[in-house]
Amino acid sequence: MIKAGIIGATGYAGNELVRLLMGHKEVEIKWYGSRSYIDEKYARVYQNMFEIVDDVCLDDNMEALAEQVDVIFTATPQGFLAGVLTEDMLQKTKIIDLSADFRIKDVATYEKWYKLEHKSPQFIEEAVYGLCEVNREKVRGARLVANPGCYTTCSILTAYPLVAEGLIDPNTLIIDAKSGTSGAGRGAKLPNLFCEVNENMKAYGVTSHRHTPEIEEQLGYAAGREVTVNFTPHLVPMNRGILATEYATLVRRADGSLPSYEEVKAVYDKYYAKEKFVRVLEKDVCPETKWVEGSNYVDIGFKIDGRTGRIVMMGALDNLVKGAAGQAVQNMNLLFGFDEAEGLNLVPLFP
């Protein structure tokens, strides 16, 4: 058994981590960290854990926690981990960070988009971007894993094979993404009140959303050059889920013809046929958030538009599982040599 600690255990992603780790046969949770609920019983905060978790919430003392556990999950706001991380901590424990503090390699880019000063840039280079299907081998040897978020995981995985194989022009990529309200966290915010969200749908962060440079950076690695995309997120009145619909111009063959469905499908299969948690759907089947809810799956589909010479790619995932806590557990499994699917064999919930 390995020992795990969670800082931010009372947020939505933190609670999802607790749920998943309670079903993991190799892990014991030793620390439920929460700045807002110190000394309160965890099951008082989340009644679904009544008679399942008897522990009380502790503080966010990372130094003390590093002495006691093998892995720390930081499900915290941007800037927290960067503000407290030390070499001494990393020598004692592994850290999986669910914030964006170590996802972007260029400090200036992070500070520009997040409006924060990065307090520990010395650790950025060694941090591994924890998109398991892309960086699996790098994750295995990491001390610090930058766990990707929900929008980025869905957006990147949906387009990655076609960018990597040169089937699309990545600079024509437009990503239109929708998220359930849990993606905004559990904090009390006026725009997230029921009456504000219900019977409504809205775009936000238009041309300025802070996940944009992360998507561009990762797809740039796939393309082997810098990539510029349009990314527009939307808030929809549901609890969980991400749906990304992505549009790009196909690269024509020398004779001017477009790649066929079979050629595009073969590229997706090259990258994902052996990936347990990425399901490339059958022809003309579009991903839906309801078919991945509560699971670690990403469903991907596509449709070629011969009239415009473009392709429509679609991806769906649960923002709290594959988009946050599930991916973090998947990364932990890689770090410690467990079966990658341990604790994650979750059949999607329906209805």
Residues noted as catalytic: 150
Q: Per DSSP, which regions of 34-143 are E strands?
A: 71-74, 94-97, 128-129
Please report, as a single letter, which amino acid is at residue 286.
C
**Residue 211: CB partners within 8 Å, gap ≥ 6?**
100, 149, 151, 152, 155, 231, 233
| Length of the chain as a residue count | 351
Given a contact cutoff of 8 angstroms between Cβ atoms, the answer to whether 124 and 105 are in contact is yes
Alpha helices in 67-170 (DSSP H): 80-84, 87-92, 107-114, 132-140, 150-164
d(CA 30, CA 253): 57
d(CA 222, CA 211): 17
Q: Per DSSP, which regions of 184-285 are E strands?
A: 202-203, 230-235, 242-249, 278-280
Q: For residue 14, what are the CA distances in angstroms to 6, 106, 117, 119, 196?
A: 7, 27, 25, 23, 25
Q: Write the Ramachandran bin of 145: left for phi over 0, alpha for psi from -120 to 50, otherwise beta.
A: beta
d(CA 298, CA 157): 8
